[in-house]
Structure 1
Amino acid sequence: MIDTILHHIHENYQNTITLNDISQKVYRPLAYCSSLITSETGKNFVDILNEIRIQKAIELLKDPKKKISEIAYAVGFRKTLCILCSMYRVVRFPDFSEPLHLKGEAASCL
């Protein structure tokens, strides 16, 4: 079942996808899917989804003609700020030596 869940996430990362969508896909309760994902991967649903999106975004960033806003939308982030915040969490760029303190809209993306 975890393979089905991960496959669904990989196939739909560019869309708005929720844990509820996953639970409906595999016909299991939301809480069960959440605990299964965490126990099998060591990560929660949102972290897995964001990691996949960031991996795809990194591939797209190789094209210098693409804008970050276009890439963000193409991989499922509906706000450019969200992709930047997620990249900070997932990639941990070495230039960031201080913890990131965000407020308002930026904090809601994490």
Structure 2
Amino acid sequence: MFQSEKQSFIFDSVHLAPEEQIGLHQQSTWEVCHIIVGAGMRLIGDRTEPFQSGEVVMVPPDIPHCWYFNNHVTDSEGRIANTAVMFSTDLLDNCSAVFPELGECISRLKEKRDAVKFDREKSVAVASILDEMRYVNAAERVALMMRLLPLIASTDCESVVGKYRKIDKEKNRLNQIQVYVVCNARREISLDDVARHVGMNRASFCVFFKKATGKTFVNYLNEYRIELACKLLEEKKMAVSEICYQAGFNNVPYFNRVFKKLKGVAPTEYKCC
């Protein structure tokens, strides 16, 4: 959603398929986002961490960020949902000039450089305001924005979830690939899928990945899946055949061969250790 001359800030409410969520991006505005329905991995600045429904995060300007949603946490229509408000530093300066009562809290807000996640109590309060914005017109949202600013400006009840770092094109692609694997390792992944995800054709992707990591993507994916299988084996709650499919393999003999090649023992032997 783009800001128009008649909008001092942007409110957005989305309800879409997990794969339709925008990819890694950065912007000159602040963003406060509430995940209503969805879970997966988020990448903000220098950190990649899991997220769950109910999370509320604030991202200052110019920090690269994205949320990668998995396909298993959706509503009855198979969709995720989130709300967000985006606003510029100019808006903060203008509010401070027009409403001196807001001056102190806006100064605190402008000092924030890191992306933060609010704790449960603060998240509920922020989410409540964002939810109200869904049901009122643009003029009425202005009053809600004035309620929101002091709340997000406070420095308590929050934890850092990402710091700014400049990402070059190669590191950006590798980050996208890493998060894609984490989010999708348990299902079938083709070279075409992951190449398309980072905006490359299959041949160029294979050359890029081998040069950047020293290994093929298939080997990288197998290594990740075997580590995932090891964690499942250590829990000793499932049969090896079940773990094979849970880790993203669709062939038990192939899983056994790859496991023994990487770990030096068969899955059954590893499970008994």
TM-score of the superposed pair, with normalisation by structure 1:
0.78
Aligned residues: 93
* Cα RMSD (Å): 1.2
Describe the SS at the equivalent of 2:235. Answer: coil
How far apart, in 1, do the equivalents of 2:213 and 2:227 lie? 17
1:81 maps to which of 243, 247, 253: 253
For 1:27, the equivalent position in structure 2 comes to 199
Can you give the 5+ residue segments of structure 1 that lack an aligned partner in the other structure? 94-110
How far apart, in 2, do the equivalents of 1:67 and 1:46 lie? 25
For 2:235, the equivalent position in structure 1 comes to 63
In the TM superposition, what is the alpha-carbon distance from 1:7 to its structure 2 partner? 1.6
Q: What do residues 16-69 of structure 1 show as CA deviations (whole Å, max 9, x unaligned)? A: 001110111112111111111111111101100100000000000012231001
Counterpart amino acid of residue 227 in structure 2: Q
Describe the SS at the equivalent of 1:62. Answer: helix
Task: Tell me if the contact between 1:37 and 1:43 (Cα under 8 Å) persists in the aligned partners.
Answer: yes
The structure number with the bigger radius of gyration is 2
In the TM superposition, what is the alpha-carbon distance from 1:84 to its structure 2 partner? 0.7
Moved over 4 A (4+): none
Can you give the 5+ residue segments of structure 2 that lack an aligned partner in the other structure? 1-172, 266-273
TM-score of the superposed pair, with normalisation by structure 2:
0.33
In the TM superposition, what is the alpha-carbon distance from 1:89 to its structure 2 partner? 2.1
Alignment of 1:1-110 (within 5 A): 1-93=173-265
Determine which structure has the larger helix proportion and give its number.
Answer: 1
Task: Tell me if the contact between 1:2 and 1:36 (Cα under 8 Å) persists in the aligned partners.
Answer: no
Taking only the aligned residue pairs, the percentage that are identical comes to 29
